[in-house]
A and B are shown apart, each in its own frame.
Chain A
Amino acid sequence: MISMIFRKRKHRLKESILRGVFEENLKILGKPPFRISERMPLSAKKISLSFLVILLFILGHGNSLNLTLFQEKQTLASSATKNYFQTPENPLTLLDNSANLSDAKAFLKIPGVPLSRTFGLTVKTVMIDPGHGGSHSGSIGKKGTKEKDITLDIAKRLKMRLDKYGQYNVIMTRENDVTLPLNKRVALAQSYKADLFVSIHINYLLSRPTNIIETYFFGSPSDDTTLKLAERENADSQYRLSDFRKIIEKIGDTLKYQESKKLAASIQKSLFLNISKEDGNVQNKGIKTAPFLVLLGVDVPAVLTEVSCMSNSKEEIELNNETHRENIAHYLETGILDYLNKGEASYEAKRR
């Protein structure tokens, strides 16, 4: 009897180890976890199926139904003048502007059912977008440091880091100091069939000398400052008004919305957790929605991250330090990988 119990225990141990090996290899391949033995109860299956049907129905009829899922779609044009701003209480939580949730939005909020995983989607091509470039310098620090140079350097370092894995096709919208309008950046992402889009920027606060970190995904502006920032970043878009309608129609893209939010949260968390160890005064502004055209035009999960703040003199000096830029690239890498690994990576990056 005792030997039978012992044998059973050993058998279970072996099974769990074999499963562990299998799951490790799934992870290497970037595949979602396997679910053979974790059978979903029938009732849960029915609920999931109903949600899926509702979602598909809503997506199919979004244009004719006046659903709050598409609130952004309806309010975007007026959002530039609308004052519905919030300040994040929990810096790592999304500032969700919609008041009433539709069924589809409720579906989005169900924990554990991200659509990317539901549909088994994977990421192959990562596009990194160093903000500004060429005649558009972006913000310029008091010592003359230009945003376009810093974003390009960080982007190159991030590309090198992601290339190491051999798993992703990492492409940059620009690899040197050239002027690249926003519509070209979007076109590049579309032509390379990017699966993920990360735009790197450096903030500049006119009124405050603080250092802040914030990450955006597309949506109506979270506050007045955000709106101003969006106006600044959209300045060289070169989109025509006729393009705008098509662009606006894309806001209802549920998958993009959900995944962009997750990607933004992951990057912001990694950046803040790690940078705050070096700079105790850095402020976490969390993830926010903002109408950045570069994010809207790209069809896939897309974020714009303000990794540092040029108006802070100390930070400007730091940004001229290679190690600091490498660290920022590392934190971005950690954030992106954590998003890709669905939360299984560690946010704690080792500093150089």
Chain B
Amino acid sequence: MKQKEDNILFVGIDLGTSRSSICASNSAKEWIESYVGWPKDFISLKVVGRPVLFGSEALQNRLSLELCRPLEHGIIKEGIDRSEEAVREIIKYLIEISRPAAEQKIYAVVGVPADTLKTNKLAIRRAVSEFVHSLMVVSEPFAVAYGMNLLNNSLVIDIGAGTTDFCIMHGAIPAEEDQKTILTAGDYIDDQLYSYLNEKFPNSKFNKNMVRQFKEQYSFVGKSPGEIRVELPVDGKPVMHDITNEIKRACESILPAIIETTTEMIARFDPEFQVKIKSNIVLAGGGSLIRGIAAHIQEALKVIGSCTVVSVDEPLYAGSFGALKLAQDMPVKYWESL
């Protein structure tokens, strides 16, 4: 089924709320944080030296930039800000860093959060299509499932930043009732952690970006891996703070909703196949990097019987890898008709 055309570069893109990645058939593999920043004025332009900045670089220079995280809350905010333009810039940048050869056609499969796919299908196509010769858009959890060859009797839980997407695979392209999206995801943890820290250290100064970094570095559920101490300024002086409990509470705050939705998704599936699905639950997305999360969910799901929950090996690339696999497997006749 694979296409071997040399003049085509197949790319799989995972357009995430927090991070976006690309895997290409020329073995290029890159990721960036899904932030785009444009200089606020000509002085900012002089300071940053470029008309548009991406990812961590954009975050570092955020005071000089008009910063946009285009898929915040899982959808493109059409007409409200520069979301669509930001998506365009991210895609353009990702394709550039995948180094396509001159004259090479680009066939892309783009994975997006399930809600984005439902509400912004056309906006995404608009944003992406000018940089590729042919394009298909799919939901992220489906791309992950395809990449892992979990086409039948499996449940993929993609814990992203804006949303957690659930997708049951049963040997066909998942229908709407096979997918569910909840808003308790990475950003929710950030909000919780920010409020817990504010409550505990009212005199300390910190912002959402710092809180996000603490989460990414130290996140865990269940048994603590050790004391977590971070430096926060108090009256301008750096002071060490113990945030172990706050990290635990914030990370565990998303679990009840995830467990409840998982149970519900399994329960409403054909009872004959429930056992198979229970032994094939896969966590993907940045949230799957939370230490102990797979074991914790597996334990909590015991009430509905024995379950096996595993995390994907490379959460950053699982979506884009699956999208690339889809792109490569897709017959040329389909590509040419789009």
Query: Using a CB–CB distance below 8 Å, which chain A residues touch chain B?
Result: 10-11, 13-22, 24-26, 28-29, 31, 34, 36, 164-167
A29-B125, A165-B122, A166-B123 given; A17·B136 CB < 8 A? no
Q: Mark contacts of B127-162 with chain A using CB atoms, 8 A cut-off: 1 yes-contact digit, 0 otherwise.
A: 000000001111000000010000110000000000
B326 within 8 A of A: yes
For the complex, what is the distance from the CA of A25 to the CA of B138, rounded to whole Å?
Answer: 8
Query: Using a CB–CB distance below 8 Å, which chain B residues touch chain A?
Result: 1, 78, 109, 119-123, 125-126, 135-138, 146, 151-152, 171-173, 326, 329-331, 333-334, 337-338
A18-B334, A34-B337 given; A25·B329 CB < 8 A? no
Chain A residues with CB below 8 A from B329, complex form:
14, 18
**Least distance between A24 CB and chain B CB atoms (Å):** 7
Contact in complex: A16, B121 (CB < 8 Å): no
Contact in complex: A13, B171 (CB < 8 Å): yes
For the complex, what is the distance from the CA of A167 to the CA of B338, rounded to whole Å?
Answer: 16
Of B123, B152, B173, the contact of A21 (CB 8 Å cutoff): B173
Closest 9 CB pairs of A and B: A20-B173, A22-B334, A166-B122, A28-B121, A25-B136, A167-B122, A166-B123, A13-B171, A17-B173
**Least distance between A162 CB and chain B CB atoms (Å):** 12
Secondary structure class of chain A's binding surface, majority of residues: helix
Chain B residues with CB below 8 A from A166, complex form:
78, 120, 122-123, 126
A17-B146, A21-B138, A166-B123 given; A34·B334 CB < 8 A? yes
28 example contacts (A-B, Cβ-Cβ < 8 A) are as follows A13-B152, A13-B171, A14-B1, A15-B1, A16-B173, A17-B146, A17-B151, A17-B172, A18-B329, A18-B331, A18-B334, A19-B334, A20-B172, A22-B136, A25-B135, A25-B136, A25-B338, A26-B337, A28-B121, A28-B137, A31-B337, A34-B334, A34-B337, A164-B119, A166-B120, A166-B122, A166-B123, A166-B126
Contact in complex: B338, A29 (CB < 8 Å): yes
For the complex, what is the distance from the CA of A19 to the CA of B125, rounded to whole Å?
Answer: 19
**Least distance between A84 CB and chain B CB atoms (Å):** 45
Chain B residues with CB below 8 A from A24, complex form:
138, 173
A25-B136, A26-B338 given; A18·B330 CB < 8 A? yes
**Least distance between B179 CB and chain A CB atoms (Å):** 12
Closest residue of chain B to A10, judged by CB?
B151
**Least distance between A231 CB and chain B CB atoms (Å):** 42
**Least distance between B333 CB and chain A CB atoms (Å):** 6
Contact in complex: B326, A25 (CB < 8 Å): no
Of B1, B125, B172, B337, the contact of A28 (CB 8 Å cutoff): B125
Closest residue of chain A to B78, judged by CB?
A166
Apart from A17-B172, A167-B122, what are 5 other A-B pairs with CB-CB below 8 Å?
A: A13-B152, A20-B172, A34-B334, A36-B333, A166-B120
For the complex, what is the distance from the CA of A78 to the CA of B337, rounded to whole Å?
Answer: 49
Contact in complex: B337, A21 (CB < 8 Å): no
Secondary structure class of chain B's binding surface, majority of residues: mixed
Contact in complex: A18, B137 (CB < 8 Å): no
Chain A residues with CB below 8 A from B173, complex form:
16-17, 20-21, 24
Chain B residues with CB below 8 A from A20, complex form:
172-173
Chain B residues with CB below 8 A from A17, complex form:
146, 151, 171-173
For the complex, what is the distance from the CA of A36 to the CA of B331, rounded to whole Å?
Answer: 11
Closest residue of chain A to B142, judged by CB?
A21
Closest residue of chain B to A15, judged by CB?
B1
**Least distance between B20 CB and chain A CB atoms (Å):** 20
Closest residue of chain A to B143, judged by CB?
A21
**Least distance between A258 CB and chain B CB atoms (Å):** 25
Contact in complex: B136, A21 (CB < 8 Å): yes
Chain B residues with CB below 8 A from A34, complex form:
334, 337
A13-B171, A14-B1, A17-B151 given; A22·B330 CB < 8 A? yes
Chain A residues with CB below 8 A from B146, complex form:
17
Chain A residues with CB below 8 A from B138, complex form:
21, 24
Chain B residues with CB below 8 A from A15, complex form:
1
**Least distance between B304 CB and chain A CB atoms (Å):** 27
Chain B residues with CB below 8 A from A10, complex form:
151
For the complex, what is the distance from the CA of A22 to the CA of B137, rounded to whole Å?
Answer: 9
**Least distance between B168 CB and chain A CB atoms (Å):** 14
For the complex, what is the distance from the CA of A296 to the CA of B127, rounded to whole Å?
Answer: 39
Contact in complex: B122, A28 (CB < 8 Å): yes
Chain A residues with CB below 8 A from B151, complex form:
10, 13-14, 17
A13-B171, A165-B122, A166-B122 given; A25·B333 CB < 8 A? no
Chain B residues with CB below 8 A from A31, complex form:
337
**Least distance between A8 CB and chain B CB atoms (Å):** 13
Chain A residues with CB below 8 A from B331, complex form:
18
Chain B residues with CB below 8 A from A11, complex form:
1
Of B119, B137, B152, B172, the contact of A25 (CB 8 Å cutoff): B137
Closest residue of chain A to B145, judged by CB?
A17
**Least distance between A232 CB and chain B CB atoms (Å):** 39
Chain A residues with CB below 8 A from B152, complex form:
13
**Least distance between A14 CB and chain B CB atoms (Å):** 7
Chain A residues with CB below 8 A from B337, complex form:
22, 26, 31, 34
**Least distance between B276 CB and chain A CB atoms (Å):** 15
Closest residue of chain A to B330, judged by CB?
A18
**Least distance between B117 CB and chain A CB atoms (Å):** 9
Chain A residues with CB below 8 A from B78, complex form:
164, 166
**Least distance between A189 CB and chain B CB atoms (Å):** 24
For the complex, what is the distance from the CA of A21 to the CA of B121, rounded to whole Å?
Answer: 13
- Which of B123, B138, B173 has the most A CB atoms < 10 Å from its CB? B173
For the complex, what is the distance from the CA of A270 to the CA of B76, rounded to whole Å?
Answer: 29
**Least distance between A344 CB and chain B CB atoms (Å):** 12
Chain B residues with CB below 8 A from A164, complex form:
78, 119
- Which of A22, A34, A164, A165 has the most B CB atoms < 10 Å from its CB? A22
Chain A residues with CB below 8 A from B120, complex form:
166
For the complex, what is the distance from the CA of A20 to the CA of B334, rounded to whole Å?
Answer: 11
Chain A residues with CB below 8 A from B137, complex form:
25, 28
For the complex, what is the distance from the CA of A54 to the CA of B282, rounded to whole Å?
Answer: 58
Chain B residues with CB below 8 A from A22, complex form:
136, 330, 334, 337-338
**Least distance between B328 CB and chain A CB atoms (Å):** 11
For the complex, what is the distance from the CA of A13 to the CA of B146, rounded to whole Å?
Answer: 11
